[in-house]
Amino acid sequence: MSRLSRLRGRWTIPALIVVLALVAGGVYFTRSGDDPVAVPYKEAKIDAPESPDSTQTVTIETRLYLPQQTPAPAIMLAHGFGGSLRSVHTQAEEFARRGFVVLTWSARGFGRSTGQIALNSIDREVRDAQKLLDFLGTRDEVQKDSAGDPRVGVTGASYGGALSLLLAGVDKRVDTIVPVITYNDLAQALLPNSASATPRADATPAATSFGEDGVFKRSWAGIFFSAGMTSIDLSSPTGDAPEMGQTESQQPAQQPGGNSGAAGQPPTPALGACGRFTPEVCAAYTEVATTGRASQQTLELLRKSSPVAVTDQIKQPTMLVQGEADTLFGLDQSDATARQIAAAGGKVKMVWYAGGHDGGNPGTSLRGEIADWMAFHLQGKGNDPGTGFEYTVQGAFRSSGTPSLRTVVAPSYPGLSGSATERKTVRLSGREQVAVNPAGGNPAAISNLPGLGSALSRSSAISSRLSIDLPGQAAVFTSDPLDSQLLLTGSSTVRLRVARGDQSSGEAILFAKLYDVSADGTRVLPGSVVAPFRVALPPDGSAAEVNVTLPPAVRPVESEHKLALVVSTTDQAFANAEQPAAYRISLASDSISVPVVPGRNVTTGFPVAALWGIVIALLVLIGAGIIAMFRRRLAHDSDPELSSVPLVISGLTKSYPGGLKAVRDLSFRVEHGQVLGLLGPNGAGKTTTLRMVMGLIHPSEGHIRVFGHKVTPGAPVLSRIGSFVEGSGFLPHLSGAANLRLYWAATGRPLEEAHVEEALEIAGLGDAVNRRVRTYSQGMRQRLAIAQAMLGLPDLLILDEPTNGLDPPQIHQMREVLRRYAAAGRTVLVSSHLLAEVEQTCSHVVVMHKGQLVAAGEVADIAAGGGEATFRVDSPSKAADVLRGLEGVHDVHEDEDAVHASMNGVPRAAALSALVAAGVAVDQAGPRRRLEDAFLELVGE
């Protein structure tokens, strides 16, 4: 956000009111900006049987979050693998603010809960959750459907999402569920194309069918197993450890040693190597990790602990949320769950979003949808969310480094393949090619970086461009340039022919992936996903023809781009074939079938209909009339005595529904020539205060005056404010200089008043100012945004975190710029979390905590706190004697080259004069403490 003078136009203000009124009709799960107040919770420990036939018990730690009004429906919120109840604290508070009782817990083997991890075993982790349902049934705060039957929904991500499905399948007291980025069949997820009723690829009758073994997802499985021994939270796409820096490892009581295992199975490792896993789970992982194959016993163990075991029993309304950037649990997993629940007569809504284990958690809007689902099915509030299909389309990256996103909705979920009328055929070309598998399967191609994809994808498209296909190890087939955009939505299919290229073994392990190739040759692998498959080759050397289902993805492939099908012999994320081999790979059909799901775009604006046009026009006219009535009165709402004061805030309070007060009775004053730093921890109310100063939101109480004029949305005095808050919004295809000129032209003010050259000098971009903004680094965009805020040399300049993205020399330069700017008689208000930078840059400081003012004044006075001072002198002992002789000064002590004292109101200048008079050479005098020390003391840290 930048200068606000553009709001002065006659029609801009009414139009803005209309837009804000319509946007305000949307319900959001959480609020951006300052952190809201904490929600109270109670902790308890609940005992559960170790297993149905055991007399031993495990202890489950729990937290019960309470809304403002009870009794209320409850939500059970499960954590992800490697996490604990502390991992979902923020989500629990969000649900509680929506009026739900929220129960969180640490699954056995995690956090401070005891027991061993059995991977969501129905006889263990699921039975524990049933005990928690019993617990909710006894609580007076929880609304009941009948005695012992709480009104309850269950949600969670990854491991917790699977738990919500399993619990709904075995306990009908659950009323609704929202599983997020989770699995249907753990065997299929970790060993894609293992024997099941729904294989991802199949062979023709003339060819040998696939083997019983899937292709082991080695990297993710290793991370998954390690998370059970450490504190990596796999429900968090960043792989963050649980909150508060606590180690979640809880080593179960175990005896050293091992056992021989069942016949045909490798021996169970010593229990010390199993971490917190049960011996059965540890043995299964060891088998697959060492052999690359899973026995029937291992597959059964994984499936018995997977939702697929109970989905035919789930009748509760279900909202499935799955990530489009997820190489651990892909869209195929939620697809299988949706089909199975629907076949059993359940109600299913499907949402695909631009995130996942490799792409990020659900954002504010999607979390709001989840809360709306719970509100409708548990509280009876809001509109019926239905059973439609919603997916997010991620487009090109903006200049800020974030992707453009749009949401498309369809009336029903079509599945990964869609119907025959929803598929498009794209022709491929390419001769037969020989692809070699190196000995040991190494070096291997790269399709994704498990555990790292999320961190990379948050800043750019780099994660989807990291795919590397090694020369000689892959066959490539490409399409002609597309003549129009193709919105790929689901799983494409292609028919391949594979034959031995030498005296290879009778089975091939191959990896298929579909790239989007731009006109300049840049390749993007949507979602970084790849489809592994095994092909049994005929012993006579003839070719096997096989239909291959490519991994599901969502990708807008633009016109002039090409599709490229790559079939590789290796992939570093999977267990590759160890023996050297060569394969002849060709197209059995010269086309690829691509699914397309038609839908309605719900993020590009209002529906184009005559009725909407009439309604909007009426609202604009009404808004214009209201503004015309009150504009003149607002323009004269001023205090002449404050006409020369840049900013006065008096009794400012901002309250939100539910009793939340982001700002409480805040008052302070900013004078000419000051560089004032607005400080406070997260949630202090800084951002809310700045938004009220700029007229973006209304205060609940109190008022703000800028040069004597009361601040209201669209007030003319806002033209005297320049601001840079929360993003710049530059046009990426224009140069920096062109962006500044275009912005100033939009204000309607004469070009000679812009002082563009001064602003460009401040930006310090050199020749880069004539380059397109899309080529700028974050620091360059930051400097350009600050220069934009300074256009017209506004009397009051408001900057939010101005040094973000700047290197040390640039920070030093920015410090000097702000000082010079204020020295010319103008005023600067800086909100920052860099205390050292504020101490060096600002002349005055306002400290906020929990929405209230806790200190205000000159930086030196705030830092001095109780009046402690330091004097650097040539003779500390002599200086100490002089200071002890001054009335009021106490607590004098010395060190190697300085003396420190509590001045107790005695001016430092008086002490300095006494020292000089006594012949003590003083090199430096100042407050003893740093601003950081004073700040931490003020906010109680």
Q: What is the pLDDT of residues 92-151, one digit of tens each?
A: 999 999 999 999 999 999 999 999 999 999 999 999 999 999 999 999 999 999 999 999
Q: How confident is the model at residue 865 (pLDDT cuts 50, 70, 90)?
A: low
Q: How confident is the model at residue 156 (pLDDT cuts 50, 70, 90)?
A: very high
CATH number of the domain enclosing 765: 3.40.50.300
Q: Tens digit of pLDDT for each residue in 621-660?
A: 666 666 555 555 544 567 888 888 889 999 999 998 877 8
More confident residue, 243 or 527: 527
Residue with tokens 């001016």: 907
Q: What's the mean pLDDT in 864-887?
A: 82
| pLDDT reported for residue 931 | 67
Q: Are residues 579 and 610 located together in one domain of the fold?
A: no
pTM comes to 0.60
- Among 81-90, 603-612, 774-783, whose mean pLDDT is lowest? 603-612
Q: Are residues 616 and 648 located together in one domain of the fold?
A: no
- Among 93-97, 201-205, 210-214, whose mean pLDDT is lowest? 201-205
| pLDDT reported for residue 14 | 38
In a domain, 932, yes or no: yes
- Residue 19 in this model has a pLDDT that exceeds 50: no
More confident residue, 751 or 455: 751
In a domain, 700, yes or no: yes
- Residue 245 in this model has a pLDDT that exceeds 50: no
- Among 46-55, 103-112, 358-367, whose mean pLDDT is lowest? 358-367
In a domain, 272, yes or no: yes
More confident residue, 138 or 578: 138
Return the percentage of the chain with pLDDT > 70, whole number. 79
Q: Are residues 742 and 808 located together in one domain of the fold?
A: yes
**Two tokens, residue 837:** 């930078």
**Two tokens, residue 310:** 């109970």
Number of domains in the chain: 5
Q: How confident is the model at residue 20 (pLDDT cuts 50, 70, 90)?
A: very low
The domain containing residue 625 runs over which residues? Answer: 606-632
Q: Are residues 625 and 642 located together in one domain of the fold?
A: no
Q: How confident is the model at residue 548 (pLDDT cuts 50, 70, 90)?
A: very high
In a domain, 775, yes or no: yes
Q: Are residues 594 and 649 located together in one domain of the fold?
A: no
- Residue 414 in this model has a pLDDT that exceeds 60: yes
In a domain, 9, yes or no: no
Q: How confident is the model at residue 60 (pLDDT cuts 50, 70, 90)?
A: very high
Size of the chain in residues: 941
- Residue 213 in this model has a pLDDT that exceeds 80: no
In a domain, 467, yes or no: yes
Q: Are residues 587 and 676 located together in one domain of the fold?
A: no
- Residue 381 in this model has a pLDDT that exceeds 60: yes
CA distances for 13 relative to 623, 709, 907, angstroms = 8, 18, 53
Q: Show which of 856, 884, 911 is a domain's final residue.
A: 856
Q: What's the mean pLDDT in 735-749?
A: 84
Q: Are residues 577 and 612 located together in one domain of the fold?
A: no
CATH number of the domain enclosing 515: 2.60.120.260
Look at residue 589 and give its three-state secondary structure. strand
Q: Show which of 837, 856, 875 is a domain's final residue.
A: 856
Q: What's the mean pLDDT in 344-370?
A: 91
Q: Tens digit of pLDDT for each residue in 713-726?
A: 778 888 888 887 76
- Residue 420 in this model has a pLDDT that exceeds 80: no
Of 191-195, 462-466, 635-639, which has the strongest mean pLDDT? Answer: 191-195
Q: Are residues 653 and 773 located together in one domain of the fold?
A: yes
Strand partners, 797: 722, 828
Amino acid making up residue 721: I
**Two tokens, residue 896:** 């190697």
- Among 593-607, 628-642, 769-783, 872-886, whose mean pLDDT is lowest? 628-642
Q: Are residues 428 and 568 located together in one domain of the fold?
A: yes
- Residue 3 in this model has a pLDDT that exceeds 60: no
In a domain, 713, yes or no: yes
- Residue 398 in this model has a pLDDT that exceeds 60: no
CA distances for 922 relative to 282, 878, 892, 903, 918, angstroms = 70, 12, 16, 17, 11
Q: What's the mean pLDDT in 807-820?
A: 78
Alpha-helical runs (H) found in 79-217: 89-97, 125-137, 159-170, 186-190
Q: Show which of 827, 856, 885 is a domain's final residue.
A: 856
| pLDDT reported for residue 624 | 61
Q: Are residues 932 and 839 located together in one domain of the fold?
A: no
Q: Tens digit of pLDDT for each residue in 906-916?
A: 888 888 888 88
Q: Are residues 667 and 725 located together in one domain of the fold?
A: yes
Report the mean per-residue pLDDT for the chain.
80
| pLDDT reported for residue 378 | 97
| pLDDT reported for residue 127 | 97
To which H or E segment does residue 494 belong? strand 493-500
Q: How confident is the model at residue 8 (pLDDT cuts 50, 70, 90)?
A: very low
In a domain, 709, yes or no: yes
Q: Are residues 658 and 577 located together in one domain of the fold?
A: no
Contact of 27 with 366, CB cutoff 8 Å: no
Return the percentage of the chain with pLDDT > 90, whole number. 34
Burial tier of 734 (Cβ tally within 10 Å: 0-12, 13-18, 19+):
middle
Q: CB count, 10 Å around CB of 134?
A: 15
CATH number of the domain enclosing 912: 3.30.70.100
Contact of 453 with 475, CB cutoff 8 Å: no
